Amino acid sequence: MDARGFTLIEIIVALTIFAVGILAVATLQVNSMQSNTKANLLTQASVLAQGKMEELVALSFDHDSLKDLDLDGAAGLGDSGFDNDNTTDGDADFGPAPDNGQFGIYWNIAEDMPAVAGVGTKTIRVVVRWQERGQWKNTTISYVKTN
């Protein structure tokens, strides 16, 4: 009767191959969780931006929240800082909107942009900022409102 089993070397090789496979699956799981977190934050930011945009679009054309306070026009549409001083470069016309946890909601107005003869226009751009793993991220949406 021949009762041979696996040698110690064969068992070590099999365990090594198994361990490498398990580590690969664990790495995929971690990457998947990070991607899900990023997607969740981007979705939340997009929903906040859309909500603020809907609120602004519903206002009358001459409402105080739809004025280009720092008079920087189209050049200031992407501004997302805010220190409550309209003369500071890079500052948004308005923001941050209160009570949004880790997100800052800013909005900028460019009057008569795009220029349409005989029609008053305002470009509204909402910028939502958040910090992700120590880096600032943002998403923006724009809308052209006519008088």
Q: Is 83 exposed, middle or buried (0-12, 13-18, 19+ CB in 10 A)?
A: exposed
Give residue 56's domain range.
8-146
Residue 2 covered by a domain: no
Residue 1 covered by a domain: no
Q: Are 84 and 106 in contact (CB under 8 A)?
A: no
**pLDDT surpasses 80 at 105:** yes
**pLDDT surpasses 70 at 132:** yes
Task: Give the total number of structural domains in the chain.
Answer: 1
Give the pLDDT confidence of 5-35 residue by residue, as tens digits: 778 899 999 999 999 999 999 999 999 999 9
**pLDDT surpasses 70 at 112:** yes
User: How far is CA 49 from each of CA 20, 97, 107, 137, 146, rounded to the nearest angstrom?
Assistant: 44, 11, 9, 13, 20
Residue 97 covered by a domain: yes
Give the pLDDT confidence of 64-102 residue by residue, as tens digits: 989 888 878 777 777 777 666 656 667 788 877 766 678
Model pLDDT, residue 98: 63
Model pLDDT, residue 119: 80
Alpha-carbon distance of 49 to 28, in angstroms, equals 31
**DSSP string computed for 29-69:** HHHHHHHHHHHHHHHHHHHHHHHHHHHHHTS-TT-GGGS-T
